[in-house]
Amino acid sequence: MSETNEKASYLWRLGRWMAELVLVFVGVYAAFWLNNYQQHLQEAKRRDQILASIEQTLRDGIESGKINGAQEERQAAEFQQALDAGEMPRLHPFVFTTDYTPIDLATLLQSGGIELLDVETLTALRNDESVIRWGLSRMAHYQKLSDELIVPNLDEDISFFYDPAAKKLRKRFEMYPEALQTTVKFAHDLEKTHTELLKRIQAERQRH
């Protein structure tokens, strides 16, 4: 009888120990799951904040780009039409301003964008930045030429810029219509990559 009681007591203690072990395991697993869930929510919130910020920037950029692009295209077309008609239109200082800085993108990615955003979105983002960098490099090149060749000579007679007999720009000023056309191309390329990136971001936000 005593042996039976001892066996029952042992089984009861074993069962209790197993139950406590299961409870501990369930508790640890639940805490781990909750922590992962909370982290997932934080990452999802951070991802959406990053995407929303980029999306708004793109929307603003596309809208202003259309307005500026139309003006630049009109100016380039008017100048070229005048040249083609044998006229000698005045040259103006070439000025291109922007508030873009690559530091903004680097900061965005370092703040978690690389880990949180889809690979396709990051690729589209870098393609967009590549177009911006190329365009700004060309704009800086033409503005430098303008500052060196055009700005110091604005008071000169039109014959300083043109060969009056041929009614063509002198060699060193042939960069001017080229600069105008490159600005138009930059605006078109930028609108295209901005639009592609915007669609990519909107798709990612909907998916997540």
Question: What secondary structure does DSSP assign to 144-200, as a single string?
Answer: HHIIIIIGGGTTS-GGGTEETTTTEE-GGGTHHHHHHHHHHHHHHHHHHHHHHHHHH
Q: Is residue 175 part of a domain?
A: yes
Query: Which pLDDT belongs to residue 98?
Result: 72
Higher pLDDT, 192 or 38: 192
Do 131 and 193 touch, CB atoms closer than 8 A? Answer: yes
Q: Is residue 185 part of a domain?
A: yes
Q: What are the pLDDT digits (tens) for 28-50? A: 655 555 666 566 677 778 778 88
Higher pLDDT, 22 or 96: 96
- Tell me how far CA of residue 31 lies from CA of 16, 18, 24, 28, in angstroms: 22, 20, 10, 5
Q: Is residue 17 part of a domain?
A: no
Q: What is the mean pLDDT of residues 115-137?
A: 85
Q: What is the mean pLDDT of residues 89-106?
A: 76
For residue 96, give the nearest of 122, 120, 71, 119 by alpha carbon.
71
CA distance linking residue 83 with residue 174, whole number of Å: 11
Q: Is residue 35 part of a domain?
A: no
Q: What is the mean pLDDT of residues 103-114?
A: 59
One-letter amino acid identity for 92?
A: H
Q: What is the mean pLDDT of residues 187-194?
A: 92
Q: Is residue 2 part of a domain?
A: no
Check pLDDT > 60 for residue 106. Answer: no
Number of domains in the chain: 1
Q: Which has the minimum average pLDDT: 7-11, 24-28, 35-39, 93-97?
A: 7-11
Q: Is residue 150 part of a domain?
A: yes
Percent with pLDDT over 70 in the chain = 71
Query: For residue 50, what are its two tokens?
Result: 């990053």
Average pLDDT, the chain: 82
Query: Which pLDDT belongs to residue 174?
Result: 95
Query: Which pLDDT belongs to residue 58?
Result: 85
Range of the domain at 161: 43-207
Higher pLDDT, 185 or 15: 185
Q: Is residue 8 part of a domain?
A: no
Residue 163 backbone phi and psi in degrees, to 5: -85, 105
Q: Is residue 98 part of a domain?
A: yes
